[in-house]
């Protein structure tokens, strides 16, 4: 097999030495000469030996000509002989990038690569970067299979390597699709790899290169090659040091590093790609028959502005009529299209959030799907989320005032009557219920409102703590009846944290709390804060986390222009062991040293409790604070609702605030609306309600869908399916499980009735930016590695280089030996005359010929004599000399 078949015509040069030999035989004319009869007799005596020498010389020159043409034409093969002699083995390790950016569409002809012209690629077949990578791997393996040498190949996909490295029981062999397998003549080892597709994971190449280096060290070979096949997106090379450490490990194992660019567009601009990066319902009371606001975020990853983008939206409803998951369809629910969502413009590199409304009158978990028009990367153009809709939820209200004015304000907002439906059913109960209530009693309510309750017992505090940590919502309205000592000891203790801070004292409008203009939260500026409102100490303004209040926060502090806070509870400074003495209620500033008074701060509890300041007073005292506790949320309002401390309940802003606060309490315990595809899928199957066997139907682009049957552990009422365990065990359905879209759980109740629960599986954002890093940047960031960029089409030739370098050296050595042998035979087959003292020897006659010329030359060296006797002696002498020469 020749690397350059066009040079095969040079083998005609082999006939040149034979032709010269034939011509040399015809160059002398035959002349009868009696004196030569003696010489001819001697020649006939030694003829066979002379012809043998000349034949060996001729064959050597033919072999030299043939070997020279073979070297120039690039003869390959002979590795079987080399393997039999020395066992030469080449290990080819391929790290294949299969992150979901490799699903990007590429042109059929990508132009020239780094190591030569990129071959023409059929656009109908190689429509994605991953298809081009598979084509390059197939080309390499086919070329290795045609070679007679010993080649081992290892292929490792980045997605499997990343998940195996995250597991505790995985190994490099488990991560590899092919692990040091010897390439056979039919190249069937890669048939399974050719049927794969790019994953849906966001991965980098570090884990795969580390595991590939382990395989290079574990498998001995005479030469090693490491190929990195990727689209070289800029995101993967933002931390070149991590990549350099992994490549240095492979370099120390003796591997030559080659990089294959499967995109190689040659341009500097990013291809147009829009992606939906988020889709979620706004925190609210999610009940059937109440509209739900959805927020969808679209990001422009291209270098140019995109205009007039139309998003398609649809709702997939799963009512009580959907009992069985249908594997013959992509969705078991009923699909209803929504009006298109128009985006006028998205600047380059920016993102935009649009809101739209969804109305579903059926209880259950339903799905909302939003899609973008087709572009370079299609997998990030669609995103789904679920909306769990229940019936109206009950809310418990306990008022510590005998007149019940606070409970009236809250219940009238949550249940306004008429045709307005909020989704909450308020129930007003006396304080005695809280003292005797059990956890099961409180769990019947979605949220609990405690208004100016004087004291909370230890038992009630423990029950409330368990209720909130389990997902319940709790709201405090602290009025004049509250006992600060009791609240600090029972509610603000570290073991409960039902209050985000301890209470200090009541601050009125005339009280000077700290220096003038001091911000209690430690921030001298508030969101959308009006300076004129800031100067009013009793004014209500937005806090630093006011965006949690939704649309009202965008109106600015002017909306609270009619609200006056006469009295509020001030939190105690959490960083001081003792609260310092505060000056009497006067407008004069305190004479105490300012450094001796530490300003109250919530920084100490921001991290563990996730404290958010929603509203505050003009002097910086928090008025409304939200913090998380377990799975639930707590909203604390440091003022009462009886009308003596403020006039807020009569202001329209109180209605908006209470609705937003109620939405926070309700959504705290709501199930997640989506699941990242690389996270475990969980489903609760309590033994008293469901059978332990469930069926999962992963998402699929086209039916039929695969069914995965799972059985719950006897010790746990939850079914867990982990993708890491699936890849380590090489379980069927792994690729389908990682697909984004709608997955459906089918579980069977103890009564024999089945039900379907949809789950939204979404991509992990990060691979949608298709901007590439240039080859020069990679070589600059990885100096001293000896990295070489190659075009995928050059692999067919490169595959033989690893094993043919030794074969080429053997050919060159054999050529040198034949040239030396040719010179020795030429000298051996020639006739030489010993020079006398007076004359140097003449150049000898070498060639393919005739002994008569040699004899004539020998005769000419003798001086002529006119004497007959001397002539006879001369002839006899010549004959004797010739005979001696021939014998020698």
Average predicted confidence (pLDDT) for the chain: 79
245-249, 530-534, 767-771, 788-792, range with the lowest pLDDT: 530-534
- Please state, in angstroms and as integers, the Cα–Cα distance from residue 174 to each residue in 272, 370, 520, 735, following that order: 37, 37, 57, 16
Give the pLDDT confidence of 354-363 residue by residue, as tens digits: 999 999 999 9
Look up residue 763 and give its DSSP letter: P
Phi, psi (deg, nearest 5) at residue 860:
-65, -25
Residue 510 predicted with pLDDT over 90: no
- Percent of the chain exceeding pLDDT 70 equals 75
pLDDT at 315: 97
Residue 76 predicted with pLDDT over 60: no
Q: What stretch of H or E contains 307?
A: strand 306-317
Over residues 275-300, the mean pLDDT reads: 92
pLDDT at 582: 34
Residue 779: other Cβ atoms inside 10 A: 15
Q: Which two tokens mark 652?
A: 């329209």
Q: Are residues 638 and 607 in the same domain?
A: yes
Q: Are residues 350 and 304 in the same domain?
A: yes
pLDDT at 335: 95
Higher pLDDT, 542 or 819: 542
Is 551 a domain residue? Answer: yes
Of 668, 695, 719, the one marking the end of a domain is 668
Beta bridge partners of 683: 719
Boundaries of domain holding 698: 274-390+673-762
pLDDT at 6: 60
Is 579 a domain residue? Answer: yes
Q: Are residues 473 and 580 in the same domain?
A: yes
- Spatial separation of the C-alpha atoms in residues 119 and 116, rounded to whole Å: 9
Give the pLDDT confidence of 624-639 residue by residue, as tens digits: 999 999 889 999 999 9
Residue 439: other Cβ atoms inside 10 A: 14
Q: Which single residue is written with the structure tokens 């013959």?
A: 328
- Percent of the chain exceeding pLDDT 90 equals 40
Q: Are residues 30 and 179 in the same domain?
A: no
**Three-state DSSP class for 642?**
coil
Phi, psi (deg, nearest 5) at residue 162:
-65, -45
- Spatial separation of the C-alpha atoms in residues 89 and 82, rounded to whole Å: 10
- Spatial separation of the C-alpha atoms in residues 251 and 241, rounded to whole Å: 15
111-120, 370-379, 444-453, 635-644, range with the lowest pLDDT: 111-120
**Three-state DSSP class for 472?**
coil
CB 199 within 8 Å of CB 100: yes
Over residues 817-834, the mean pLDDT reads: 74
Angle at 346 between CA 343 and CA 352, to 5 degrees: 75
243-252, 372-381, 481-490, 524-533, range with the lowest pLDDT: 524-533
The CB-side HSE value for 189 (13 A sphere, CA atoms) comes to 24
Q: Are residues 106 and 67 in the same domain?
A: no
Beta bridge partners of 569: 506
Of 762, 788, 808, the one marking the end of a domain is 762
pLDDT at 145: 79
Q: Are residues 384 and 499 in the same domain?
A: no
Residue 171 predicted with pLDDT over 90: no
Q: Helix/strand/coil (H, E, C) string of 727-738?
A: HHCCCCCHHHHC
Q: Which two tokens mark 317?
A: 């409803």
Over residues 68-80, the mean pLDDT reads: 63
Residue 552: other Cβ atoms inside 10 A: 18
pLDDT at 82: 47
CB 343 within 8 Å of CB 309: yes
Give the pLDDT confidence of 445-488 residue by residue, as tens digits: 999 999 999 999 999 999 999 999 998 999 999 999 999 999 99
Q: Which two tokens mark 702?
A: 């086209």
Q: Are residues 726 and 758 in the same domain?
A: yes
Q: Are residues 222 and 295 in the same domain?
A: no
474-483, 504-513, 521-530, 641-650, range with the lowest pLDDT: 521-530
Residue 525 predicted with pLDDT over 80: no
Residue 787 predicted with pLDDT over 50: yes
Is 422 a domain residue? Answer: no
Give the pLDDT confidence of 288-324 residue by residue, as tens digits: 888 999 999 999 999 899 999 999 999 999 988 899 9
Is 35 a domain residue? Answer: yes
Is 608 a domain residue? Answer: yes
State CA 53 to chain mean position distance.
Answer: 71
Is 627 a domain residue? Answer: yes
Q: What is the CATH number of the domain that holds 349?
A: 2.60.40.10
Most confident by average pLDDT, 127-131, 293-297, 732-736, 828-832: 293-297
State CA 426 to chain mean position distance.
Answer: 48
Residue 885 predicted with pLDDT over 60: no
State CA 497 to chain mean position distance.
Answer: 40
Q: Are residues 145 and 245 in the same domain?
A: yes
Q: Are residues 118 and 70 in the same domain?
A: no
Domains held by the chain: number: 4
Is 421 a domain residue? Answer: no
23-37, 248-262, 378-392, range with the lowest pLDDT: 23-37
Confidence of residue 30 (pLDDT cuts 50, 70, 90): low
Of 618, 643, 668, the one marking the end of a domain is 668
Is 412 a domain residue? Answer: no
Q: What is the CATH number of the domain that holds 647?
A: 3.40.50
Over residues 836-850, the mean pLDDT reads: 48
Over residues 261-288, the mean pLDDT reads: 83
CB 136 within 8 Å of CB 795: yes
Q: Which of 319, 321, 320, 275 is nearest to 299 (CA)?
A: 275
Q: What stretch of H or E contains 504?
A: strand 503-508
In the chain, helix, strand, coil percent, each to 5? 35, 25, 40
pLDDT at 845: 45
Q: Are residues 453 and 528 in the same domain?
A: yes
Q: Are residues 30 and 123 in the same domain?
A: no
Q: What is the CATH number of the domain that holds 236?
A: 3.40.50.410
């Amino acid at each position: 097999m020749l690397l350059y078949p066009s040079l095969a015509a040079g083998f005609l040069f082999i006939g040149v030495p034979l032709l010269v030999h034939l011509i040399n035989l015809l160059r002398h004319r035959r002349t009868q000469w009696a004196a030569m009869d003696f010489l001819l007799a001697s020649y006939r005596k030694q003829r066979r030996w002379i012809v043998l020498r000349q034949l060996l010389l001729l064959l050597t020159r033919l072999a030299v000509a043939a070997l020279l043409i073979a070297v120039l034409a690039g003869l390959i093969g002979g590795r079987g002989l080399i393997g039999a002699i020395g066992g030469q083995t080449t290990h080819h390790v391929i790290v294949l990038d299969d992150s979901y950016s490799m699903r990007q569409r590429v042109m059929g002809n990508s132009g020239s690569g780094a190591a030569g012209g990129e071959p023409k690629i059929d656009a109908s077949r190689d429509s994605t970067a991953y298809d081009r990578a598979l084509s390059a791997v197939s080309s390499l393996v086919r070329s290795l299979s045609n070679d007679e040498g010993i080649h081992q190949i290892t292929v490792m996909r980045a997605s499997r390597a990343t998940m195996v490295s995250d597991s505790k029981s995985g190994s490099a062999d488990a991560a590899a699709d092919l692990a040091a397998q010897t390439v056979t003549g039919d190249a069937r080892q890669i048939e399974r790899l050719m049927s794969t597709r790019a994953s849906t994971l966001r991965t980098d190449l570090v884990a795969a290169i580390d595991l590939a280096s382990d395989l290079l060290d574990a498998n001995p070979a005479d030469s090693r090659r490491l190929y990195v096949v990727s689209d070289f997106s800029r995101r993967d090379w933002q931390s070149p040091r991590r990549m350099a450490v992994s490549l240095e490990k492979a370099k120390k194992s003796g591997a030559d590093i080659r990089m294959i660019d499967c995109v190689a567009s040659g341009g500097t601009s990013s291809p147009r790609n829009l992606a939906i990066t988020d889709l979620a319902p706004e925190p609210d009371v999610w009940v059937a028959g109440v509209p739900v606001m959805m927020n969808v975020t679209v990001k422009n990853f291209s270098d140019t502005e995109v205009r007039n983008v139309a998003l398609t939206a649809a709702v997939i409803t799963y009512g009580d009529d959907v009992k069985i998951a249908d594997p013959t369809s992509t969705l078991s629910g009923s699909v209803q299209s929504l009006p298109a969502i128009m985006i006028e413009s998205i600047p380059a590199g920016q993102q935009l959030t649009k809101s739209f409304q969804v109305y579903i009158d059926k209880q259950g978990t339903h799905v909302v799907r939003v899609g973008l028009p087709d572009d370079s990367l299609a997998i990030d153009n669609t995103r789904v989320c679920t909306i769990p809709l229940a019936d109206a939820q009950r809310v418990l209200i306990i008022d510590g005032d005998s007149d019940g004015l606070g409970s009236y304000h809250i219940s009238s907002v949550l249940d306004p009557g008429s045709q307005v439906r909020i989704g909450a059913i308020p129930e007003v109960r006396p304080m005695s219920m809280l003292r005797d209530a059990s956890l099961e009693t409180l769990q019947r309510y979605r949220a609990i409102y405690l208004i100016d309750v004087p004291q909370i017992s230890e038992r009630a505090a423990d029950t409330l703590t368990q209720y909130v940590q389990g997902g319940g919502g709790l709201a405090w309205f602290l009025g004049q009846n509250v006992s600060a000592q009791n609240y600090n000891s029972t509610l603000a203790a570290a073991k409960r944290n039902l209050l985000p801070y301890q209470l200090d004292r009541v601050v009125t409008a005339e009280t000077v709390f700290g220096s003038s203009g001091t911000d209690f939260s430690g921030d001298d500026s508030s969101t959308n804060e009006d300076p004129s409102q800031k100067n009013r100490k009793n004014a209500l303004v937005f806090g630093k986390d006011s965006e949690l209040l939704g649309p009202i926060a965008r109106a600015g502090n002017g909306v609270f222009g009619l609200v006056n806070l006469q009295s509020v509870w001030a939190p105690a400074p959490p960083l001081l062991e003792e609260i310092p003495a505060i000056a009497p209620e006067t407008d004069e500033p305190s004479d105490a040293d300012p450094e001796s008074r530490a300003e109250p701060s919530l920084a100490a509890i921001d991290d563990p409790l996730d404290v958010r300041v929603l509203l505050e007073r003009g002097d910086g005292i928090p008025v409304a604070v939200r913090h998380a506790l377990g799975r639930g949320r707590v909203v604390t309002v440091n003022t009462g609702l009886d009308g003596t401390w403020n006039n807020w309940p009569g202001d329209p802003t109180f209605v908006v605030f209470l609705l937003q606060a109620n939405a926070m309490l309700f959504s705290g315990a709501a199930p997640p609306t989506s699941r990242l595809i690389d996270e475990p899928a969980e489903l609760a199957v309590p033994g008293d309600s469901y059978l332990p066997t469930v069926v999962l139907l992963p998402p699929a682009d086209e039916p039929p869908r695969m069914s995965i049957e799972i059985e719950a552990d006897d010790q746990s009422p939850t079914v867990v399916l982990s993708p890491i365990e699936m890849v380590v065990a090489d379980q069927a359905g792994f690729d389908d499980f990682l697909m984004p879209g709608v997955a459906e759980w089918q579980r069977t109740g103890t009564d024999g009735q089945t039900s379907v629960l949809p789950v939204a599986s979404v991509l992990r954002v990060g691979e949608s930016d298709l901007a590439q890093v240039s080859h020069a940047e990679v070589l600059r960031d990885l100096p001293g590695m000896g990295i070489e960029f190659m075009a995928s089409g050059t692999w067919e030739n490169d595959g033989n280089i690893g094993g043919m370098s030794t074969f080429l050296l053997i050919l060159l050595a054999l050529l040198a030996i034949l040239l030396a042998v040719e010179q020795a035979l030429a000298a051996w087959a020639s006739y030489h005359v010993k020079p006398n003292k007076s004359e140097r020897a003449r150049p000898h006659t070498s060639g393919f010929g005739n002994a008569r010329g040699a004899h004539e030359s020998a005769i000419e060296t003798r001086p002529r004599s006119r004497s007959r006797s001397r002539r006879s002696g001369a002839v006899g002498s010549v004959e004797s000399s010739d005979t001696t020469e021939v014998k020698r």
